[in-house]
C-alpha cells in the first residue's frame, strides 16, 4: 500500500509549558526519512510527538506538515498516524474493529476498506486474527496490530512512541525489520522516539 506523498515536518520555534517544565523545539524532519529521537524518560520525546500529532497545542510557534500549517488542527485533521507506546487498542473490541476504527471512527467501512483491514493484518503477520480480542494476544502481536491500524490510515507521516519498549530482543529485531519493510513500501516520513539506543 503506497501512502500519500511523504511530507516534511517543520517545527517552527515551538514552545510548550507543562507545569514546571518548558519545552522548546525548532527542527525539521525530512520527507520520506526515518528519524530516531533518543533520550531519557522525561526529556520531551512523547511531548514532541504529541505536538506533531495535535494532542498537545504549543503556547507559541507553528507545526507545518508538508506545505500546510496544522498548528490549529485537531489530531483527526492532521495527515499523521501515531502508534502509542501502549498500542492503544480497545480491549473489548476485536482486532478487525480496532483496525477498522483507524479508517472510520464510526466503522462505516466500504468493501475496499474491509479488504484494506484484512490486507493490513496479513502484512503484519496477523491474518486470521480478525476476531481475536487484544487480551488474547502477546505483547508483540498487539504491537503488530497497532502497526496494522497505522497502515490502513495511509498517512504521509508515521509517529512511533517507544514502539519496541515492551518487547524481548528477538521480537524487537523482528519488529524493526517489519518497520523497515513498511517504510520501503509506503515511503512515509517516520519519527520514532525511544529511550533505548538499540532502536536506532
Share of the chain above pLDDT 90, in %: 46
C-alpha distances in angstroms, 115 versus 99, 103, 118, 119, 185?
12, 12, 5, 6, 18
- The residues spanned by each domain of the chain are 1-79+156-200, 89-154
Please report how many Cα atoms fall inside a 13 Å half-sphere around the Cα of residue 63, on the Cβ side: 24
Stretch among 29-33, 54-58, 163-167 having the lowest mean pLDDT: 163-167
Q: What is the predicted pLDDT for the residue at 16?
A: 95
pLDDT tens digits for range 37-86: 999 888 889 999 999 999 999 999 999 999 899 999 999 899 999 888 77
Q: Whole-prediction pTM value?
A: 0.85
What is the CATH number assigned to the segment(s) 1-79+156-200? Answer: 3.40.50.300
pLDDT bin (cut points 50, 70, 90) of residue 25 is very high
Amino acid at each position: 500500500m503506497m501512502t500519500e506523498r511523504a511530507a516534511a515536518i517543520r517545527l517552527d520555534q515551538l514552545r510548550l509549558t507543562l507545569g514546571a517544565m518548558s519545552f522548546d523545539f525548532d527542527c525539521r524532519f525530512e520527507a520520506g526519512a526515518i528519524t530516531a529521537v533518543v533520550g531519557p524518560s522525561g526529556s520531551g520525546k512523547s511531548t514532541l510527538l504529541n505536538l506533531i500529532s495535535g494532542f498537545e497545542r504549543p503556547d507559541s510557534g507553528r507545526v507545518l506538515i508538508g506545505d500546510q500549517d496544522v498548528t490549529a488542527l485537531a489530531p483527526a485533521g492532521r495527515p499523521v498516524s501515531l502508534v502509542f507506546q501502549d498500542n492503544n487498542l480497545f480491549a473489548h473490541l476485536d482486532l478487525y474493529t480496532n483496525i477498522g476504527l483507524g479508517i472510520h471512527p464510526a466503522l462505516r467501512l466500504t468493501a475496499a476498506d474491509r479488504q484494506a483491514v484484512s490486507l493490513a493484518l496479513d502484512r503484519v503477520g496477523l491474518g486470521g486474527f480478525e476476531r481475536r480480542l487484544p487480551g488474547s494476544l502477546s505483547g508483540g502481536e498487539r504491537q503488530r496490530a497497532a502497526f496494522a491500524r497505522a497502515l490502513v490510515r495511509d498517512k504521509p507521516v508515521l509517529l512511533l512512541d517507544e514502539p519496541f519498549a515492551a518487547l524481548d530482543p528477538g521480537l524487537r529485531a523482528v519488529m524493526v525489520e517489519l518497520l523497515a519493510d513498511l517504510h520501503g513500501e509506503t515511503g512515509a516520513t517516520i519519527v520514532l522516539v525511544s529511550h533505548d539506543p538499540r532502536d536506532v
